[in-house]
Structures are given as structure tokens and as C-alpha cells.
Chains A and B, each alone.
Chain A
Amino acid sequence: MSSVLYDTPGPRAKARNLIVSVVFAVALAAGVWWLVSALGDKGHLEWAKWKPFTESSSWTVYLLPGLGNTLKAAALSMIIALPLGAVFGIARLSDHAWVRIPAGTVVEFFRAIPVLILMVFANELYSGSVEPDVRPLYAVVTGLVLYNASVLAEIVRAGILSLPSGQAEAGRAIGLRKSQTMRFILLPQAVTAMLPAIVSQLVVIVKDTALGGAMIGFTELLRSRGTMSAFYGNTIPSFIVVAVIFVVLNLILTTFASWLEKWLRSRKKSSGAVLGAAAIEDAKTVGAKANTDGGAR
């Protein structure tokens, strides 16, 4: 195997790689052994602390409702943020400065501040008007919508800009208005191109719901873990289980996103413009417009 850094290994390189492999394997094994013995010393490997996870009640009472709330908040945020993001993304591409500049300012503002600030703001905003039992959900969803709508706005903008300029020109040539070109030609193609980036953004949303659990009392997975370990006294095992749930959930989403990206790229019937997960990273650079304009890297 040849890469930028390494030529295909010869006999000497092969021998050296073998030695490095063995040393690294020994170091890794020592690390794992140290970790396991540290866990064992404190009694975290005792069956009593893991047993709750084999019983249905710990799942039905604590973990599944928590996971349900995590997914509910993530889904609601995505559903509300998508149309908002589309509106702001298109507004940023407007020919009129009085539409383009305010939309750009709003998007850049909400992208520059932490989600937690928005959640705390929303939580306090709703303190008088919303029922206390649904208030954390409302606050979490509001915070996530404000932040992610502005990220999605950038994805929408990048999606439309990623289309070949011939598409808009063809639309104009057959006499469509600007709004018609956007609705019938650009947007449908851009939405397909954006799908992988949107699914990747879901991972970010799912992870950020945990913030609501820790800071404003939203009973999602992380908070249910707290209630559960207070009952069973299994801090470390419950953290490991919750982490595994998050990793599996997010890996499913990431795998789906990259499969979607590959599938869209391989389709014959498209303009070939696809925005992968990396598009989110590109869109993140505050004030660096050239990153998405014309797709020049």
C-alpha cells in the first residue's frame, strides 16, 4: 500500500512495522489491563452493578423514556429548523441587499454564539408562559432550532451554489421568473444534494440535546442515567451504557449519511452536485464566504 507519506514497504520497513506493532500492542494491553484492574478495585465490574441492564424495568423506566425524549427533541428541532433554514439560506442569496444583509447578519449571529446560551435564554423566556413540565423540552427545542436553522441556512446556500450555473441560466433562458427558477429548478436539486449534510447535522443535534439534560432539567438520556444510577448506585456502568447508546445511534446516522452521499453521487439522473458531511465544516468558518462560493477550495 502506497500513500502520500509511505512507499510500499520493503523487507526492512516490514520488519520495523512489525516491531512497532508489537510494542504498541503491549502498551495497549497494559493500558487496558490497568483500566480493568482500576475498575475492578473499585468494584465496578461486580455483577450487581451491571445486572440492572439485563432487567426490563431499568430500560422501560429510565433509559428508553430518556432516549425517547432525546430523539423527540432532535426530531422536532430538525423539522422546525429545516424550513427556517431554507428561508434564511435563500434570503442570503437574494439580489436585494435589504433582504440579503439582514438575513446574513441573523445567520452569522446565531452561529457565533453557543447553543447553551440560547437554551438558557429560552428557558427563562418561557418561565411565565409555558407549563413547567414541558418547559425544558420547549427550551431545548428553541435553542437547537435557533442554532441549527442558521447552520442549515448555510447548508442550503452552499447546496444552491454547488449547482452548475447552467441550471439557473437555462431557467432564465426559457423565461422563468427568479422565484420560479428557485422553486422549480434550483431548490429541488439542491435539496437532494443537501440530504447527506442534513443527516450529518442530525448527529450534532442529537449530541446537543444532552446539554438540556445537564443544564435545564430536560429528562433526556443523560439525565435519566443520573436518576437511574442514584437508584442502583452504578455510576460507571450506567455511563458506559449511555455512551454506547449514543455511539451506536450516531454511527447509524453517519453510516446512513455516507451511504446516501455515495448513492446520490452514483445516480445518473443528477447534475452531480452533492454536499457531503464536510460541507458543514466548510460552512462553519465565520466570515469566510469564499469557501462556499463557486466551490473553490
Chain B
Amino acid sequence: MFDFLQDYDLLGAFWVTVKLTLLSGAGSLVLGTVLAAMRVSPVPLMRGFATAYVNIVRNIPLTVIIVFTSLGLADTFRLTLGGEGVKEVAFRMAVLGLSTYTAAFVCESVRSGINTVPVGQAEAARALGLNFTQVLTLIVLPQAFRTVIGPLANVLIALTKNTTVAAAIGVGEASLLMKEMVENEAQLVLITAVFALGFVILTLPTGLLLGWLGKRLAVKR
């Protein structure tokens, strides 16, 4: 019953899913943090730019962004991001698209984390004579980071599931293999169950671990 599974590279496909998740996760964390810094900055122009970015990007479907990176950036503008060959370029484009999209959600999580720190905390720190860097590194960020773990875990789980969209531009990750398999094999329910299980295995530990960590480190107020 399970024999036909050996004809396909299941682990390889899920490995691509993991690679997409980790690379886009790192990319969106960097971009999202920069955007969050802009969103809480005292410079109105930066705040406006970051707000516009978030409101535009998170309202465009991820599929539109991913397909655009392939048809628009790769095909029309001949952007390769240093990749060679169609497959490599598609993979890099998928990472770019996923990072761009997820950054908007990372930005919102980080910003809401900073906003949960009561103003009184910073005011008390300033009253003690701490300067801006000290207020930021000793008082605000340690509290904000702890609050942000839970929301960021949600973003990471959503990102893991969103990597399936890369199938739209032919990146050989799990869902593309699944589509190929259900079209060629008869065991539809079995194949779906295998892939569903694969995603449960990828997302459940992340949620449990980071959820536990978030609760353990939460600031009691």
C-alpha cells in the first residue's frame, strides 16, 4: 500500500519546504525589524513609509506577489539574484517574495510588542537619568522581546504553510510534489494524509515550543 511512496522524493520536497521557511524567516525577520524600527521612529516620513508598506503588502495576496517575482522580476526584468538555471532562480524568487510578504507581519508583531510596554516604564527610566540607548536596551527591548515571541511564532507557522505558494512558480516543494502524486496515483486520501502529517510535524513543535517559551518568559503585569 505504501510502496508507491518510494518512487517519489518525499523527504527532498519537504527539505525544500524547510529551506524556504528558514531562509524567508531570516529575511523577513531582518526586513520586518527594520520596518518596525521605522514605524516607531520619531521621523514622520519613515513612519509613513513603513505604514504604507505594511498596509499595501499585507493586503496583496501572497500568490500575486510570488507570481509577480517570477513573471515580472525574473522574466521581464531578467533579475536572477545570482541564481543559475530556471529552478535556482525560481527558488530565490520565492524566498524574495515570501520575505517581502512576511516582513509586513513581522513588523506588526514587533511593533505591537513594543507598544505593550507601558509608557510609565520608559518614563521611570528617563526619570532615573538613563539615556536613549539605556532606556531601549535595558528597559523597553527586554520586555518587548518577551511579548513578541508568541506573535512571532504564529508568523513562523503561517510562513511554513505559506511556502506551499511557491509551487505556483514551479519550486519543487511539498505541495508541488503532492499535486504531481495525486494526478498520477490512485491513493488520494493516503497521499493527502501523508502531506498533511508532514506539515503537522513541521508546525506543531514550533507552536508548542515557542508557545511554551513565550508563556514562560511572559512579563507578568
* Chain A residues with CB below 8 A from B188, complex form: 121, 124-125
Task: Say how far A221's CB is from chain B's closest CB, in angstroms.
Answer: 8
Contact B55 A236 (CB under 8 A): no
Given A20-B43, A114-B161, A235-B72, decide whether A210 and B64 contact each other with a Cβ distance below 8 A.
yes
Q: Which residues of A contact B32 (CB under 8 A)?
A: none
Cβ proximity bits B207-219 to A, threshold 8 Å, 1 near / 0 not? 1100100110000
Q: Report how far A124 CA is from B199 CA in the complex, Å.
A: 20
38-66 of chain B: CB within 8 A of chain A: 40-46, 49, 55-56, 59-64, 66
Instruction: Report the Cα distance A242→B140, complex, angstroms.
Output: 41
Q: How far is the CA of A211 from the CA of B208 in the complex (A)?
A: 28
B136 and A28 contacting across the interface, CB-CB below 8 Å:
no
Q: How many residues of B contact A (CB 8 A)?
A: 67
Among A81-89, A158-166, A175-183, A245-253, the stretch in contact with B: A245-253
| A113/B62 in contact, CB under 8 A | no
Interface residues of B in 152-180 (CB under 8 A from A): 153-154, 157-158, 161-162, 164-165, 167-168, 175, 178-179
Q: Which of B6-14, B87-95, B113-121 contacts A (4 or more CB under 8 A)?
A: B113-121
Contact A214 B67 (CB under 8 A): yes
Whether B115 pairs with A222 at a CB distance below 8 angstroms is no
- Shortest Cβ gap from B167 to chain A (Å): 6
Q: A251-B59, A285-B153 are in contact. Are A21 and B43 (CB under 8 A)?
A: yes
CB atoms of A3 and B119 under 8 A apart: yes
Other-chain contact of A5, B46, B114, B207 (Cβ < 8 Å): B114
Our pick among B60, B157, B183, B204 for the contact of A124 (Cβ within 8 Å) is B183
Given A117-B178, A239-B68, 8 further pairs, Cβ under 8 A: A5-B140, A114-B199, A214-B66, A215-B175, A222-B63, A246-B60, A247-B56, A290-B215
